[in-house]
C-alpha cells in the first residue's frame, strides 16, 4: 500500500517537474530577449548615470555629479518636464472622451460601421514618422492644406503659424490625438461589447433614458477598461516623442521639447552634419530621473483609480 502511494507521489512529482520544465522552456525565448534587450541595457544605463562618458573615451566615475546637474543646473530639462505635462494633459482630455464617443457610435446599429471603424483605427498602424511628416506638410503655414482650407472656408484671413512658439504644442497635441484615438476606441468598443444585454433591458424597464443608462449602467461596467485605457494613455503621453521629433524637433526655442526627446538628444545630439559631443553619462542620469517621474505618476494614478476596477 505504502509502496503504491510512494509510486503515485513519485509519478506526480515527475509530472510536476516535467510541467515546470516545459513552462520554463516555453518561457525561455522571452526571458532571453528580456535579459538581453531590457535588463542588460538597463543595468548599463544605471551604471553610466554615475560616469562621464561620450561613447568613445574611457568612462570616468563622477559619483552623483550628473544627478546634481539635473536637479540644480538644468532648467531646460525641467522646462521639458513641464511641456510633457501640458502635452499629456492636452492629449488625454480630448483623446479619452473622443475614443469613448466613437466607440459608442460604432457599438450602435450604424450602416457601414466596419469601414468607419477601419478608417478611425488606421492611424494606429501607420508609422509615426511618416504620419508626422505628412502632418508637417499639411500644417506648414505658407502652403499647408490646413491653412488653405480654413482660408477658403473664410474661418481665418491670415495663415496660422501652426509651428510658431505659441501654437506648436497645440499642433503636436492634435497630431497625437489623431494617432491615438483609434487605438483607445478599440479598447472601449471591446469593453462595450461585454456589457450584458440584460442590463440594458433592466434599465429600460426601470425607466432610465439613454444618458442615465450610459452613466449608471454602462460606465460602471466599463470601469476596468477605462482604468487600463487611462493608464496606457498616461504612459504613452509621457513617453511619446517620435512625432514631435519629426514635426518640430522640440522647437521652436524648446516650446515642444518633451522629457524623452530631451533624453534622446543627450545621447544623439547631432543636427545634420553638425556634431555636438554625446553625453551618455548625463543622458543616463536624465533617463533615470525621467523614468522615475513617469513611474511615480503611473503609481499615483493606479492608487487613485483603485475604485475603478469594479471590485
Partner 1 sequence: MRRSMKKIACLSLGVCLSVLAFTGCSNTPKTEGTVAEEGNTAGKTNTAKTKITLWTGQRADYVIREEKLAAYNEASEDTEVEMQIYTEDYATTLELSFTSNQAPDIFQVVNNAKYYVDREMLLPLDEFLTESEIARYGDLFGIDQVNMVDGKTYTLAERGITYRLIYNKDILAAAGISEPPKTMEQVYEYAKQITEWGKDQGIYGFAIHLKTPASVGERVIDQVGFRNGISAYNYNEGKYDYSVMKEVLEPFKKMYEEGIMFPGVEGLEIDPLRTQFAAGKIGMYIYGSWEPAIYAEDGQFPAENSWGVSTIPGIGTETPMGKTDIKNAGKSWGISSTSKNPEKSWEYIKYMLSDEYMTEYHEEGYGIVVIPSVAEKAKAPDMAGMDGFAMSTDLDKIWPVRPDTAGLSVEGKNAYDTYASIILGAIDMEQGLSELTERYNAALDKAERDGVTERVIITDFDASK
> Which range touches partner 1 (CB under 8 A), out of 85-93, 117-125, 137-145, 184-192?
137-145
Nearer to partner 1, 121 or 161 (CB): 161
Q: Which residue reads 543595468 in cell numbers?
A: 43
How far, in Å, CA of 135 to CA of 119, rounded? 17
> Which range touches partner 1 (CB under 8 A), out of 96-104, 158-166, 231-239, 301-309?
158-166
- Residue of the chain from 163, 184, 187, 188 that contacts partner 1 (CB under 8 A): 163
φ/ψ of residue 249, rounded to 5: 65, 20
- Residue of the chain from 90, 191, 278, 283 that contacts partner 1 (CB under 8 A): 278
How far, in Å, CA of 153 to CA of 147, rounded? 10
Nearer to partner 1, 78 or 210 (CB): 78
- R_g of the chain, CA atoms, integer Å: 26
- Residue of the chain from 106, 162, 184, 241 that contacts partner 1 (CB under 8 A): 162
List the end-to-end C-alpha distance of the chain, in Å, as a whole number: 48
Nearer to partner 1, 188 or 241 (CB): 241
Residue 283: name the closest of 47, 57, 6 by CA.
Answer: 47
Q: How many residues bind partner 1 (CB under 8 A)?
A: 41
The answer to whether residues 189 and 103 touch, using CB atoms and an 8 Å cutoff, is: yes
Q: How far is CA 277 from CA 52, 69, 247, 249, 265, in A?
A: 12, 17, 24, 18, 10
φ/ψ of residue 274, rounded to 5: -70, 130
What does the per-residue mask of binding to partner 1 show for 168-197, with x meaning CB under 8 A?
x-----------------------------
DSSP-based three-state secondary structure for 163: coil
Question: Is residue 54 part of the contact set for partner 1 (CB under 8 A)?
Answer: yes
How far, in Å, CA of 136 to CA of 278, rounded? 27
Question: Is residue 148 part of the contact set for partner 1 (CB under 8 A)?
Answer: no
Question: Is residue 310 part of the contact set for partner 1 (CB under 8 A)?
Answer: no
Q: How far is CA 300 from CA 63, 81, 89, 91, 303, in A?
A: 30, 17, 15, 19, 5
Please state the closest distance from residue 119 (CB atom) to partner 1, in A. 25
Question: Is residue 99 part of the contact set for partner 1 (CB under 8 A)?
Answer: no
Please state the closest distance from residue 176 (CB atom) to partner 1, in A. 17
- Residue of the chain from 48, 49, 51, 74 that contacts partner 1 (CB under 8 A): 74
Enumerate binding residues for partner 1 (CB under 8 A): 54-57, 60, 69, 73-74, 76, 136, 140-143, 159, 161-165, 168, 247-249, 251-255, 268-279
Amino acid at each position: 500500500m505504502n509502496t503504491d502511494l510512494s509510486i503515485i507521489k513519485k509519478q506526480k512529482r515527475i509530472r510536476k517537474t516535467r510541467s515546470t520544465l516545459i513552462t520554463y522552456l516555453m518561457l525561455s525565448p522571452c526571458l532571453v530577449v528580456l535579459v538581453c534587450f531590457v535588463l542588460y541595457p538597463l543595468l548599463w544605463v544605471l551604471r553610466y548615470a554615475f560616469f562621464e562618458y561620450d561613447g568613445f573615451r574611457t568612462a570616468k566615475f563622477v559619483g552623483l555629479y550628473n544627478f546634481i546637474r539635473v536637479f540644480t543646473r538644468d532648467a531646460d530639462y525641467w522646462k521639458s518636464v513641464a511641456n510633457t505635462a501640458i502635452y499629456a494633459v492636452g492629449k488625454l482630455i480630448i483623446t479619452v472622451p473622443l475614443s469613448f464617443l466613437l466607440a459608442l457610435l460604432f457599438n450602435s446599429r450604424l450602416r457601414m460601421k466596419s469601414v468607419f471603424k477601419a478608417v478611425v483605427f488606421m492611424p494606429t498602424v501607420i508609422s509615426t514618422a511618416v504620419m508626422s511628416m505628412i502632418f508637417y506638410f499639411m500644417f506648414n503655414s505658407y502652403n499647408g492644406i490646413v491653412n488653405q482650407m480654413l482660408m477658403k472656408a473664410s474661418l481665418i484671413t491670415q495663415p496660422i503659424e501652426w509651428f510658431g512658439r505659441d501654437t506648436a504644442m497645440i499642433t503636436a497635441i492634435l497630431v497625437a490625438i489623431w494617432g491615438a484615438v483609434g487605438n483607445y476606441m478599440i479598447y472601449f468598443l471591446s469593453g462595450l461589447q461585454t456589457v450584458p444585454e440584460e442590463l440594458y433591458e433592466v434599465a429600460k424597464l426601470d425607466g432610465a433614458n439613454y444618458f442615465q443608462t450610459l452613466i449608471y449602467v454602462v460606465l460602471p461596467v466599463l470601469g476596468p477598461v477605462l482604468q487600463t485605457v487611462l493608464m496606457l494613455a498616461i504612459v504613452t503621453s509621457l513617453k511619446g516623442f517620435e512625432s514631435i521629433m519629426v514635426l518640430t524637433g522640440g522647437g521652436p526655442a524648446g516650446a515642444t521639447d518633451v522629457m524623452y526627446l530631451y533624453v534622446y538628444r543627450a545621447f544623439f545630439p547631432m543636427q545634420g552634419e553638425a556634431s555636438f559631443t554625446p553625453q551618455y553619462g548625463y543622458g543616463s542620469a536624465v533617463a533615470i530621473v525621467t523614468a522615475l517621474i513617469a513611474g511615480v505618476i503611473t503609481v499615483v494614478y493606479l492608487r487613485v483609480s483603485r475604485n475603478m476596477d469594479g471590485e
